[in-house]
Amino acid sequence: MSENYFASVDVGSLSTDVVIINSAGKTMSEVVLDTGVNGVAAAQKAIDLALEHSNLTQEQVIAVTATGYGRASVPFASGKTTEISCHGVGAHQLFPKTGTVIDIGGQDSKVIQIDDRGRMLDFTMNDKCAAGTGRFLEVMADRLELGLNELSDPSHITGKSARISSTCTVFAESEVISLMAKHTRREQIVNGLQRSIVNRIWSMVTSIGIEGEVTLTGGVANNRGLVLVLEEKLGQKLNVPENPQTVGALGAALIALRNFNNQHF
């Protein structure tokens, strides 16, 4: 009997992620590409690469779930679901004791409470402003002439912190320009930026509460400095996946598997 395979395509504002799993839920391959200006083309390229990496053909993948803001534009998807559901399922798969998921993506951030099966119970979301997201960090890194790896250096959060009070990306950038004009050290500005993001996430956390272990998802989870500041603010260690950027895609692939099993057993 041949093996069944399931896939997902998570079309986000900055990246398009694909995960392929087998019928046991084991990840066979995962791909992260820039979405660019054409989400459909990015989705096809990402699935083609994931199939190549796992030595599979598209015919061997019997179900594909699309998620992310561009999920409606994936022509080869057999199902679609929200990224909120996917992050809950993916986080639970990686860290079964997860009760709270903090997802910091390219253009929005979310705090999600889930049950012991990864199903969403409640959530809150910031999708009206890029502050506290990956795009915010990209803008500030460019302004400070730093790479994202340099921006995330944990050594920047150990000293004095510059005050960044605005919760708007445009106004925060103006604050950074003003601080640079005053010859404020870049490390102090970076520290202030990290803490301003964490304060924005904290306001979302306090509105919904924390249950169980907290798992951090989304590309911003690769920012080591921010993780440390957030752990300090929450007063607990965070679960950080090996590849936090593909957690939503993993959850979508698992949903494709669950739906297939529910229909055939």
**Domains of the chain with CATH codes:** 1-95+242-265 (3.30.420.40), 97-240 (3.30.420.40)
Give the tens place of pLDDT for each residue, 191-236.
888 888 888 899 899 999 999 999 999 988 999 999 999 999 999 9
pLDDT in tens, the chain (265 residues): 578 999 999 998 889 999 999 999 999 999 999 999 999 999 999 999 999 999 999 999 999 999 998 999 899 999 999 999 999 999 999 999 999 999 988 778 899 999 999 999 999 988 556 566 777 888 888 888 888 888 888 887 777 888 887 767 777 888 888 999 999 988 899 888 888 888 889 989 999 999 999 999 998 899 999 999 999 999 999 999 999 999 999 999 999 999 998 886 5
- Give me the pLDDT at residue 265, please: 54
Rounded alpha-carbon distances, angstroms, from residue 19 to 5, 29, 55, 89, 143 = 10, 6, 14, 14, 34
Alpha-carbon gap, residue 194 to 152, rounded angstroms: 9
**What is the rounded distance in angstroms from the CA atom of residue 107 to the CA atom of residue 131?**
8
Sign of torsion, CA 121 127 131 133? positive
Task: Of 152, 192, 198, 186, give the one whose Cα is nearest residue 172.
Answer: 192
Largest CA distance in the chain: 69
Q: Enter the pTM of the model.
A: 0.90
How far is Cα 225 from Cα 245, in angstroms, rounded to an integer? Answer: 17
118 sits in the region (left: phi over 0; alpha: psi -120 to 50; else beta) called left
Distance CA 102, CA 133 (A): 12
Beta strands, E only, the chain: 5-11, 15-22, 27-34, 61-67, 79-80, 98-104, 109-114, 120-126, 213-217
Structure tokens at 64: 């594909």
